[in-house]
Structure 1
Amino acid sequence: MKRVGVIGGGQLALMMGTAAKKLGVELIVQTPGRNDPAVGIASDTVFAAVNDAKATNELAAKCDVITFENEFVDLEALSQIASQGVCFRPRIEALSPLLDKYEQRCFLRDLDIPVPKFILPESLFAVSSVNQDIYANNRNDWELSFPSVLKARRHGYDGQGTFIIKSLTDLEKKLCLDSSLLLEEFIPFKKELSVIAARSTSGEISPFVVVETQQEQQVCQRVIAPADINSQTEKIIQDIAGTVLNTLQFVGIFAIELFLTNDDEVLVNEIAPRTHNSGHFSIDACFTSQFEQHLRAVCDLPLGNVAMNCPCAIMVNLLGYETQTSNYIDKRSTLAKIPGSYLHWYGKSESRPGRKLGHITVLLDDKNRDRAMTIARNIESVWYSQ
């Protein structure tokens, strides 16, 4: 039996559990909390923060390969562990250009992959000739305009660490509080898209269908699979995924979030080097889920068939809307009665606004977008009712 160490014990690791059982894979997680979602499905747990290198050494002694549920890790420490022969998939060198959003932008730009124009905000206030050189090298032919988007370079997720900036005064106030930020142009998109793709140890690449993601307050509210886009746009996105995966020699699953502009231009927003919320539809709507595909890749097993098993699916995140200790059993029971629905509950002990507590996927027998949105609104009316 292959033993896979997972750094992180949240819901993404939890959802690897069913796939691991199917494949005969044993999961061992490194996570700080005894009530974290994946603790219950793991065969063993190292209770420690995900950036605790000593704990990762302990994890390595228990497993054959180590992978990641999140990217809040200490790359320098992991590089030292890897140099001792520990197998990480994806490899540490593949993560290195992705975890800092500024470095990720530079990496994509150097591959001629289109991204929003961006800048290090401190270079806007350059006074010395050295700083002016930094500004010249990083401005990407972009003159500052508002609104703009300010992002934390590390550890931002679910809208945290992302700010819409409407004036120079707003910008200066934010920079006084935190200097480790990336500033980029605001994109007036017509759709937000995402693609999940896997790469095997042999270099085989397997992309899932491109999906549309819909955000509320910068947190993903719902996902429609497949996205209503033309074949040319789909090919462009899958080619981008292939270029990034091959350049990094990445092994495992990763996600690319993208903007489709009003002029039908595709721009990469962010890359997540792991399984991703926009791929949860695959658990029920595809022959192989993103979690199974990830384990197949990191365990050097043949990749599975990622085709959809239905014409269309809509996934709705069940987000916290109050600070409360509750399992919401009545609402979950009501939602589970929706025809074609599959409800996934993460077992978190506390709800708070914006926290992902679970998700529900509904499989449809046609591609009627209006019907899909009606179902989503029905789910949300049940879930958010007081």
Structure 2
Amino acid sequence: MSIKLGIIGGGQLAWMMSDAAKKLGVELIIQTPSQNDPAVSIAKDVILSVVNDHYATEVLAKKCDVITFENEFVNLPALSLLEKQNVCFRPSLSALSPLLDKYEQRCYLQSLGLPVPNFFDFIEQENIADKITQLGLPVVIKTRRHGYDGQGTFIISELAQLASTINHNQSRFLVEKFVPFTKELAIIAARSVTGEIVTYPVVETRQKDQVCRTVIAPADISKTQNEEIVAIAHKLLNSLQFIGVLGIELFLTNDGKILINEIAPRTHNSGHFSIEACATSQFEQHLRTVCGLELGKTELNCASAVMVNLLGYETSFDSYQKQRQELAKIPQSTIHWYGKTESRPSRKLGHITVLLSENNQQQIEGIIQQIESIWYP
């Protein structure tokens, strides 16, 4: 008998669970707002509704055994009423609760003794300039909820920029000290219903305008730094009693220290390389964890892998067939095209992963340059 899994959210992260679902005999039932969302095409059943509509989630719950999440844009207080009626959410709502608000997430990490940048909460405008001066410019200002792919994140290098940023964005903010880093890193980790934990190789991520552009696996870091990041993942997953896959974004500072940037309580862009580069993709791993199955292996099956996001650079309805055909000629490459009907600047339209037989930095940089010269005009 197959497991019926409900997913709140129908974007590309849910869409990429399709192959694993077929392999494991899991039926996917999706709650998503638009018939055009990527995961609609692979779902056994679809409830068309916004992701924070708990009435729609109540309908979803009647159709499935377990409910999981593709994104963080959910209404936890409303969902808690369903949890009290024995609806099974994995990860649990209590595991999600400290993570959805960026300020509360940062406080939670700090309470566990995990390394984070200096920060404070900004609610009232009074004394904000004094607080920022004490912290030291530049600072990063982030909306506490619903920011992703650079949305709701602002780097402030002088106080004159502050008023326009705050006034144009009627939100509560997290303010943090800008971290001068040598690398941005990430790790995907998973925890099962029995408390078993597995981690994927630490990767280097490269952003442009706060949107992830490239992921390199494995990251070129020391053994000690790698062990520290794995230990962070274990401590966090166990503290939360988390069931599922979780992504942790980190900074490597100029003096070699590790700081946590953000936690994503779901599958994550930094783990897409795992579809081709590991025996068990992050998407299969997530299904295994939330469905109570045995966890899969996470080691690389190649010397290194490069994942490049294919980001929109214009507003159009083009399917970019010509560029995709050129990209497909790159040896050991696989393209994932998300089937979105509209392109707009910085929108993730797809990604390409290239497997390499050696871990050679020059070759890696060459592959990245080749992909981007084909993709971007």
- Range class of TM-score, shorter chain: over 0.9
Once the two structures are superposed, residues 258-317 of structure 1 have per-residue CA deviations (whole angstroms, 9 ceiling, x without a partner) of 000011100000000000000000000001000000000000000000111101000000
Secondary structure of the equivalent of 1:120?
strand
Following superposition of structure 1 onto structure 2, how do residues 284-323 of structure 1 map, counting pairs within 5 Å?
A: 284-323=276-315
- Give the distance between the partners of 2:358 and 2:82, measured in 1 at CA: 49
Gapped regions of structure 1 (runs ≥ 5): 128-134
Please give the alpha-carbon distance, in whole angstroms, between the structure 2 residues aligned to 1:258 and 1:241: 11
Q: Which residue of 1 aligns with 2:120?
A: 119
Look up the match of 1:358.
Answer: 350
CA distance in 1, matches of 2:24, 2:123: 49
Question: Is the aligned partner of 1:45 residue 2:38?
Answer: no
Q: Amino acid of the residue matched to residue 339 of structure 2?
A: G
1:157 corresponds to: 148
1:124 Cα deviation (Å)? 7.2
How far is the alpha carbon of 1:179 from its aligned partner? Answer: 4.1
Match of 1:234 in 2: 226
Q: Which amino acid aligns with 1:89?
A: R
Paired AA for residue 23 in structure 1: L
Using the alignment, how far apart are the partners of 1:167 and 1:321 within structure 2? 29
Q: Confirm whether residue 23 of structure 1 aligns to residue 24 of structure 2.
A: yes
1:175 to 166, 172, 182: 166
Contact (CA 8 Å) 2:118, 2:135: kept in 1 or not? no
Counterpart AA for 2:354: V
Q: Deviations over 1:192-235 (max 9, x none)?
A: 00000000000000000000001111111100000001111011
In the alignment, the residues of structure 2 paired with residue 343 and residue 320 of structure 1 have an alpha-carbon distance, to the nearest angstrom, of 15
- Choose which of 373, 376, 382 in structure 1 pairs with 2:368: 376
Whether contact under 8 Å (1:7, 1:66) holds in the other structure is yes
Task: Tell me if 1:191 matches 2:192.
Answer: no
2:195 maps to which residue? 203
CA distance in 1, matches of 2:160, 2:305: 44
Deviation at 1:256, TM superposition (A): 0.3
Partners of 1:357 and 1:124 in 2: CA distance? 38
Q: What's the CA shift string for 1:47-103, capped at 9, x where partnerless?
A: 000000000000000000000000100010111111100000000000000000000
Q: Which residue of 2 aligns with 1:4?
A: 5
**Deviation by residue 1:165-215 (Cα, 9 ceiling, x = unmatched):** 122222233223324111100000000000000000000000000000011
Structure 2 Cα separation of the partners of residues 237 and 227 of structure 1: 12
CA contact (8 A) 2:4 2:26 kept: yes
AA matched with 2:56 = A
Query: Residue in 1 aligned with 2:336?
Result: 344
Offset, 1:122: 4.1
CA distance in 1, matches of 2:34, 2:123: 37
Q: Please say if residues 144 and 171 of structure 2, whose CA atoms lie closer than 8 Å, have aligned partners that are also in contact.
A: no
Report deviation, 1:336. 0.6
Distance in 1 between the 2:183 and 2:133 partners? 23
Contact 1:117–1:142 (CA under 8 A) maintained in structure 2: no
Unaligned runs of 5+ in 2: none
Output the CA distance in 1 between the equivalents of 2:43 and 2:374: 32
Corresponding residue for residue 146 of structure 1:
137
2:50, 2:358 → 1: CA distance? 45
- Correspondence for 1:256 among 248, 251, 270: 248
Shift, 1:147, TM fit:
1.1
> Residue 209 of structure 1 aligns to a residue in which SS?
coil
Residue 85 of structure 1 aligns to which amino acid in structure 2? N
- TM-score by length of structure 1 reads 0.95
What secondary structure sits across from 2:91 in the alignment?
A: coil
- The number of equivalent residue pairs is 374
**Would you identify which runs of 4 or more consecutive aligned residues in structure 1 move more than 3 Å?**
none
Looking at structure 2, the residues matched to 238 and 83 of structure 1 have their Cα atoms a distance apart, in angstroms, of: 34
The worse-fitting range, judged by mean Cα deviation, of 285-294 and 170-179 is 170-179
RMSD over equivalenced CA pairs, Å? 1.4
Residue 225 of structure 1 corresponds to: 217
| Aligned CA distance change for structure 1 residues 19 and 36 (closer, same or farther; 3 Å) | same
Is the 8 Å Cα contact of residues 118 and 142 (structure 1) preserved in structure 2?
A: no
Counterpart CA distance in 1 for 2:270 and 2:155 is: 23
Q: Map of 1:92-103 to 2, 5 A cutoff?
A: 92-103=93-104
Q: Percent identity?
A: 60
Residues 79/142 of structure 1: CA separation in 2 closer, same or farther (3 Å cut): farther
1:321, 1:354 within 8 Å by CA — same for their partners in 2? yes
Counterparts of 1:2 and 1:201, CA distance in 2? 15
Please give the alpha-carbon distance, in whole angstroms, between the structure 2 residues aligned to 1:65 and 1:118: 36
1:60 aligns with 2:78: no
Q: Residue type matched to 1:213 in 2? A: T
User: Within 2, Cα distance between the matches of 1:106 and 1:142?
Assistant: 21
Paired residue type of 1:180? R
Amino acid at match of 2:343: S
Question: Structure 2 vs 1, CA of residues 123 and 52 (structure 1 numbering), >3 Å: closer, same or farther?
Answer: closer
| Per-residue CA distance 1:329-371 (angstroms, 9 max, x = gap) | 1110110110010110000000000000000000000000110
The structural deviation recorded for 1:152 is 0.5
Alpha-carbon distance in structure 2 between the residues aligned to 1:108 and 1:361? 32
TM normalised by structure 2 equals 0.97
Q: Is the CA contact 2:122–2:172 (under 8 Å) kept in the aligned structure 1?
A: no
